[in-house]
Chains A and B, each alone.
Chain A
Amino acid sequence: MSPVFAITAIVGILIGIGVGLLLLILYGVGVYNALVTLRNRYKNAFSQIDVQLKRRYDLIPNLIEVTKGYMQHERETLEAVIEARNKAVSAQQVAAANPGDPTAMHNLGAAEGQVSGVLGRLFALAEGYPDLKANQNMLALQEELTSTENKVAFARQAFNDAVMAYNTQREVFPASMIAGIGGFAPAELFEIESPKEREAPRVSF
């Protein structure tokens, strides 16, 4: 075998191997990009939840203002609402920085559940104050709160769909290897924990 032929053959084989390797790398990068896209998608979906949660938490101080005038004796409940709301705001800020992070999602879900719980108690109590119920501001606030909660629920559904798509892509072989190397952590669904059992409303005459 002449040396030139040998060299040509070696060059040929090396080019072949190189091309093969390249295709493998290209495939890998393709999978990586798919994961990046899906991750961005759920992060964007979270921003929609975030917007509505912010609005909800902004409405609550107004609600307290209105009810305070009528329900002076229900200070406990009012303070519980404020406290739950403040906790939820911090949980929300942490979650907004790390959407999909399991701890953040759990904490936010729990905090949101708390808020829903105490708000439920507040509204149950408000039933016993006809003047408050008729108050225009109160009605408007209730309506907006309901709207906002609906929007949170809707956005949550979209977010969870996006998280599932990402997690599925992440777990499928061979993407799972790349996910591990690329640092794609599993994302957590956002579930709101059901509020604690509502206390029987104290009706005072």
Chain B
Amino acid sequence: MDYFQSQDVARKKTGLLVFYFILAVVVIIVSVYAALMAILSWAATSGDHETAHELTRLWDPGLFGLVAVGTSALIGGGSLYKIAALSGGGHTVAELLGGRLLNPAETTHPEERKVLNVVEEMALASGVPVPPVYLLEEEGINAFAAGYAPGDAVIGVTSGCVRHLSRDELQGVIAHEFSHVLNGDMRLNIRLMGVLFGILLIGLAGWIVLRSSGGGGRSDRREGRNIWPLVGLALYVIGYAGVFFANLMKAAVSRQREYLADASAVQFTRNPDGIAGALKKIGALAEGSQIQNPHAEEASHLFFGNAVAGFGQLFGLLATHPPLVERIRRIDPSFDGDFSKVLMEPITSRTSEPAPARRPERFEGARMFSTAQAVARVGTIAPAHLAYAAGLLETLPRPLSEAVRDPLSAQATVFALLLDLDDSVEATQLSWLGRHAIPAAVRETRLILPDVRQLAPESRLPLVELAAPALRRLTPGQLHDFLQSVDVLIQADRKVTIFEYALQRLLYRHVVSHVVRDKPPAVKYTTASPLAGPVSLVLSALARVGHDTPDIMAQSFEAGAEALGWHNVRLAPIVDEPIGIREIDVALTQLAAASPPLKKQILEACAASIGADGRVTVEEGELLRAISDSLGCPMPPLLASGEVPSPA
């Protein structure tokens, strides 16, 4: 199942969740009503005959209405509140669990640096914006991913992870978490937390009533027996029964997904030893994967391993994760279940060097990559891409890799990338910056310019990706000024190149939408025909980029149109009129509101169009990235190559 299908499935699962939730509320309302009825009739039997006479009917619309309204208000309010409390995004979950945000500019802790490097590699390889990484001070080995969308993801790891896992094992764990990010599981998980909280409130209300009325001997003696303790007890039992069943549901869904995520981790890294090793170490460690933080229970389904152990697990029915041995066996069938043989070497402060042997040869292999494979990979990670990302990070000159980690010099790096090669334009740009940007930024720009100029063209956009986490630290005011400067620099030569456009789309998706908390566009188009115009334009644009003769352009367009598979829709290439960035932008804005299956077809068509002539130029790669960033899809890097061989 690929990224787009799983996005669709995730949406449908949400619908199912809503249905079950409403069902649960209805059941609770009926139960509370029935309980109240029973209690009232029991209370009446000990009173005067008048009340006994009143209670012959089992159905009291007034009471039912009250119960319905009261219960719905309580559950609905609670759920809405919790979902709202978590709506701040992944970082609210991370902070709930006591996480500390790791600062990429911090380099004095090699272990923390190692985690950040692994996460960066995985982000570059998958096209997901580099997520913030939180560190939980916990002895156990565990990790989580939280957020509402891949663009909003947050990764957390425990200090136990950092201390005990080798780089390969860490990579396996992070790959597992990234698969949750890419599968759209996170949004469902957070919603689940909200829903469960609402149901919990009923039990809580019951407990409060029970506590406050349990003393007995209260004023209603003359009316009959004291009903309040019973009311409290009833609410308590019903509430916690609700929570119990909801947890059963949560657990069953969660367990299945964990197997899937484990398999994805192996697929991404092509290294089963990584994740198997991590799981084995969890088994060998006394603390296992336990999280001490009191909020671990409500977030238990977000974690890599079982965060809470003990009686709450009820023979595995309530377990949010499959049994450890079973998980290991699915990856490494030879495992005999004996954890005492697992070596727990303490990973002391080595430098964060990448695993040596495998890397160079895999990097070579990455160069031969076909476009069709690139799109089939949207939303997954291929080992070749991981190797490419690792190679990129390794070979990045030190001044650049340091510059992108600090907010001030990250801005300077972007400015430097936008400085024109033409001397007079460059002078104009620098003079504008001198007048409007802060002097420190201008100074840093001049300092970093030589290194930026030496960078290979296909590494320019990945460099900006790496700068995104630092840029996200800008305050809204600082960000506004930065973006204004970027705009002016781009407009300085009165042209917008594809690189500049792609840079803007990248900045928007990776930086702006975080700071400004933008919601992704709602799905407006589920059929193909309204999109014929925009798609024709985009394909025509792609046909012109990187292709020289009209024949090849036509061929490229045809390849794209065919890959689209929209048989009833006529697509006409735009041959005579000029296509500018503005037109492309308008078209892409429209396409951004397409449903996930349509987006998949569009991206496949774009890739086919690019690959029609068997060559992938840097410009084509940049335009494809601009398209995928506009559509909000995590696109792995497209590698410029010579002749593209047929897929191995």
Q: Which residues of A contact B (CB under 8 A)?
A: 2-4, 6-8, 11-12, 15-16, 18-19, 22-23, 26, 29-30, 33, 36-37, 40, 44-45, 47-48, 51-52, 54, 143, 146-147, 150-151, 153-155, 157-158, 161-162
* Contact assessment for B409 and A147 in the assembled complex, using a CB-CB cutoff below 8 Å: yes
Q: With the chains together, A146 CA to B446 CA distance in Å?
A: 14
* Contact assessment for A153 and B84 in the assembled complex, using a CB-CB cutoff below 8 Å: no
Chain B proximity of A113: nearest CB distance (Å) = 19
Q: Which of B102-110, B248-256, B364-372, B459-467 contacts A (4 or more CB under 8 A)?
A: B102-110
Q: Can you name the residue of chain B whose Cβ is closest to the Cβ of A4?
A: B54
Which of A3, A11, A147 touches B54 (beta carbons < 8 Å)? A3
Q: With the chains together, A116 CA to B101 CA distance in Å?
A: 29
B298 interfacial contact with A, CB 8 Å: no
Which of B51, B223, B475 touches A161 (beta carbons < 8 Å)? B475
Interface set, chain B 400-457, CB cutoff 8 A to A:
406-409, 438, 440, 443-444, 447
Q: With A29-B81, A30-B85 given, is the CB distance from A47 to B101 under 8 Å?
A: yes
B574 interfacial contact with A, CB 8 Å: no
Q: With A47-B106, A151-B406 given, is the CB distance from A2 to B54 under 8 Å?
A: yes
Interface set, chain B 33-62, CB cutoff 8 A to A:
36, 40, 43-44, 47-48, 50-51, 54-55, 60, 62
* Contact assessment for B95 and A161 in the assembled complex, using a CB-CB cutoff below 8 Å: no
Give the contact-size bracket for chain B. 35 or more
* Contact assessment for A37 and B92 in the assembled complex, using a CB-CB cutoff below 8 Å: yes
Q: A33-B88, A157-B475, A158-B475 are in contact. List 10 more A-B contacts (CB 8 A).
A: A4-B44, A11-B36, A11-B66, A12-B66, A19-B70, A26-B81, A51-B106, A143-B447, A150-B444, A161-B475
Which of B60, B81, B407 touches A8 (beta carbons < 8 Å)? B60
Chain B proximity of A187: nearest CB distance (Å) = 15
Q: Can you name the residue of chain A whose Cβ is closest to the Cβ of B94?
A: A40
* Contact assessment for A52 and B406 in the assembled complex, using a CB-CB cutoff below 8 Å: yes
Contacts of B44 in A (CB 8 A): 3-4
B377 interfacial contact with A, CB 8 Å: no
* Contact assessment for A150 and B105 in the assembled complex, using a CB-CB cutoff below 8 Å: no
Interface centre among A45, A52, A151 (most CB of B within 10 A): A151
B647 interfacial contact with A, CB 8 Å: no
Q: Which residues of B contact A (CB under 8 A)?
A: 36, 40, 43-44, 47-48, 50-51, 54-55, 60, 62-63, 66, 69-70, 73-74, 77-78, 81, 84-85, 88, 91-92, 95, 101, 103, 105-106, 108, 201, 205, 223-224, 227, 406-409, 438, 440, 443-444, 447, 473-475, 477-478
* Contact assessment for B62 and A8 in the assembled complex, using a CB-CB cutoff below 8 Å: yes
Q: With A51-B105, A147-B447, A150-B408 given, is the CB distance from A29 to B205 under 8 Å?
A: no
* Contact assessment for A11 and B438 in the assembled complex, using a CB-CB cutoff below 8 Å: no
* Contact assessment for B103 and A51 in the assembled complex, using a CB-CB cutoff below 8 Å: yes
Q: With A19-B74, A161-B477 given, is the CB distance from A3 to B444 under 8 Å?
A: no
* Contact assessment for A154 and B51 in the assembled complex, using a CB-CB cutoff below 8 Å: no
* Contact assessment for B85 and A29 in the assembled complex, using a CB-CB cutoff below 8 Å: yes
Q: With A8-B63, A150-B443 given, is the CB distance from A162 to B475 under 8 Å?
A: yes
Q: With the chains together, A158 CA to B91 CA distance in Å?
A: 19
Chain A proximity of B224: nearest CB distance (Å) = 8
Contacts of B205 in A (CB 8 A): 18
Contacts of A33 in B (CB 8 A): 85, 88, 92
Contacts of A52 in B (CB 8 A): 105, 406
Which of B69, B74, B84, B478 touches A22 (beta carbons < 8 Å)? B74
Contacts of A7 in B (CB 8 A): 40, 43, 223, 227
Contacts of B223 in A (CB 8 A): 3, 6-7
* Contact assessment for B70 and A154 in the assembled complex, using a CB-CB cutoff below 8 Å: no
Chain A proximity of B131: nearest CB distance (Å) = 15
Q: With the chains together, A101 CA to B561 CA distance in Å?
A: 62
Contacts of A19 in B (CB 8 A): 70, 73-74, 77
Q: With the chains together, A12 CA to B474 CA distance in Å?
A: 51
CB-defined A-B contacts under 8 Å, sample of 6: A2-B54, A7-B43, A15-B69, A26-B78, A48-B105, A150-B444
Contacts of B408 in A (CB 8 A): 150-151, 154-155
Q: With the chains together, A44 CA to B406 CA distance in Å?
A: 13
Q: With the chains together, A22 CA to B44 CA distance in Å?
A: 30
Q: With A30-B84, A147-B447 given, is the CB distance from A54 to B108 under 8 Å?
A: yes
Contacts of B92 in A (CB 8 A): 33, 37
* Contact assessment for A3 and B74 in the assembled complex, using a CB-CB cutoff below 8 Å: no
* Contact assessment for B103 and A157 in the assembled complex, using a CB-CB cutoff below 8 Å: no
